[in-house]
Each structure stands twice: as C-alpha cells, then as structure tokens.
Amino acid sequence: MPGYAETVAMSGVIAGEYARANTNLYDLGCSLGAVTLAMRHGVKAEHCKIIGIDNSAAMIEQAGHYIALDDGKVDVELLCADITVQNIENASVVALNYVLQFIAKDQRLNLLSQIADGLNVGGALILSEKICFDDDEQPLQDKLHLDFKRANGYSELEIAQKRSAIENVLIPETESAHIARLKQAGFGQVIRWYQCFNFVSYLAIK
Ligand SMILES: C[S@@+](CC[C@H](N)C(=O)[O-])C[C@H]1O[C@@H](n2cnc3c(N)ncnc32)[C@H](O)[C@@H]1O
C-alpha cells in the first residue's frame, strides 16, 4: 500500500519518542510483526514490553519466527486474540496500523476508548488508515492509488480481484470522522503526521 514502509519505519521513531520506562507498547493487529519489530528497535526507555496482538493464528505463528530471528533486546509477547475485547494497560505507545478500517463501524469508538483508557497520560496512539474524501477529491485520489498499483506491477486482473475481496470488508471513513471520534474517545491533540495518497497516519496524544 502507498506509504507502508514509511509508516512502519516511523512507528519505530515515534515509539522512541513516546515510550516510557516500565510501560507496555502495543501493536494491535500486528500481522507479521513489522511494526512490533520497528518499535522494538526504536524504544530507548528501559524495561519496556511490546505486546503484539492479532486474531489470525497463522500471522502470530509467522510473526513469532521473525521475532525469534531478531536481535532486539526489548521483551516481546505475541497473543492470538481479538483486539476488541483485549485489555490495554499501563501503555505509553499503541500502534493500530491499517486495522480499524476492518473493525465494524459501531465498534470503533469502543475500541479507541479502551485504548485511550489503557494509555498513560501523555501516551501516544499511532493510527494508520485508508481514508475516503469529499466527492471533489475522491476521484483524483482513486486515480493516484490505481497508478500506484500499476507502477508496482499489479495486473488489471489482480487489481480487480483485490478490489472485490476488500469491498464491504474495508470500510474507510473521512479524516473529520476519524478526528472527531479520537477526541470523543479521550484523546487531546490529534495530528496527521503522514499521508501518501489515500493512506494516512495520525498521532493522537492522551
Ligand atoms: C492490514 S493488516 C495490519 C498490518 C499491520 N498492522 C502492519 O502494519 O504491518 C490487518 C490485520 O488486523 C488483523 N485483525 C483484524 N481484525 C482484528 C481483530 N478484531 N483482532 C485482532 N486482529 C485483527 C488481521 O488478522 C490482519 O493481520
């Protein structure tokens, strides 16, 4: 996806800025653990623990192999669990990268509120999402995303198959909807620190 590599790498940089000693960092919907590893190498504070959670057993198993091969010193725990019912506690950093878009709309506020509750004051949420736009901007963003896929070697068939696979599963929302909900969930400052076409990443501070 456009901007994915930068989002992963900068999640490590942001973790370095916000991680506090003796706290937990969470990578919610961690998939293969790319952000878990980036945070592991970005953390400078002592005695931190990173908890990566995904409800796909295959993802967690593969992530475990990558973590085992990695030489980072920060403790990592991987859990196969549903992030919508998982307790977040004593957190200084939470990453939710390209996952909220797959959670049912009516559960999104509840999840973000649980994250805000589990973050210590001054803690940070990194929220990365595919978003949608007003009618005048949407066609241009769609075109650029399509150009990105073609430039990265996807065939027209692959593009069509991917579109139908995520239709009705990935439900994007506008930036104003995201920011309003983050505030409602209990976050103070919210900034968009990154955007690449229709993929954005926000930093929300409790
Ligand atoms: C697009 S991937 C996320 C990529 C990953 N965060 C990264 O930056 O590399 C979405 C992941 O969220 C996981 N997921 C979706 N809903 C979930 C839920 N309710 N609980 C836990 N994991 C979930 C999926 O299994 C999938 O691995």
pLDDT tens by residue, 1-45: 899 999 999 999 999 999 999 999 999 999 999 999 999 999 999
Binding residues for S-adenosyl-L-methionine: 4, 29-31, 54-55, 82-83, 97
Is the CB of 84 inside a 6 Å radius of any atom of ligand 1? yes
Q: Which pLDDT does position 168 carry in this prediction? A: 81
What is the CA(99)–ligand 1 centre distance, in A?
Answer: 5
Q: Which pLDDT does position 167 carry in this prediction? A: 78
pLDDT per residue rounded down to tens, the chain (206 residues): 899 999 999 999 999 999 999 999 999 999 999 999 999 999 999 999 999 999 999 999 999 999 999 999 999 999 999 999 999 999 999 999 999 999 999 999 999 999 999 999 999 999 999 999 988 998 998 899 899 889 988 888 888 888 887 878 899 999 999 999 999 999 999 999 999 999 999 999 99
Is the CB of 35 inside a 6 Å radius of any atom of ligand 1? yes
Residue nearest ligand 1's atom 13 by CA = 29
| Helix (H) / strand (E) containing 54 | strand 49-54
Say if domain 4-132+172-205 classifies as CATH 3.40.50.2300. no
Q: Which pLDDT does position 172 carry in this prediction? A: 95
Contact, 60 vs 37, CB < 8 A?
A: no
| Helix (H) / strand (E) containing 197 | none
Residue nearest ligand 1's atom 11 by CA = 29
Contact, 133 vs 67, CB < 8 A?
A: no
Q: Which pLDDT does position 191 carry in this prediction? A: 97
Contact, 127 vs 108, CB < 8 A?
A: no
**Ligand 1 atom with the shortest distance to the CA of 59:** 27
User: Whole-angstrom Cα distance, residue 97 to residue 7?
Assistant: 8
Report phi then psi at 103, rounded to 5: -85, 140
Is the CB of 55 inside a 6 Å radius of any atom of ligand 1? yes
**Ligand 1 atom with the shortest distance to the CA of 29:** 12
Pick from 133, 129, 151, 154: nearest CA to 142: 133
Give me the numbers of helices (H) and strands (E) for the chain, helices first please.
Answer: 7, 7
Residue nearest ligand 1's atom 9 by CA = 34
**Ligand 1 atom with the shortest distance to the CA of 56:** 25
What is the CA(60)–ligand 1 centre distance, in A?
Answer: 10
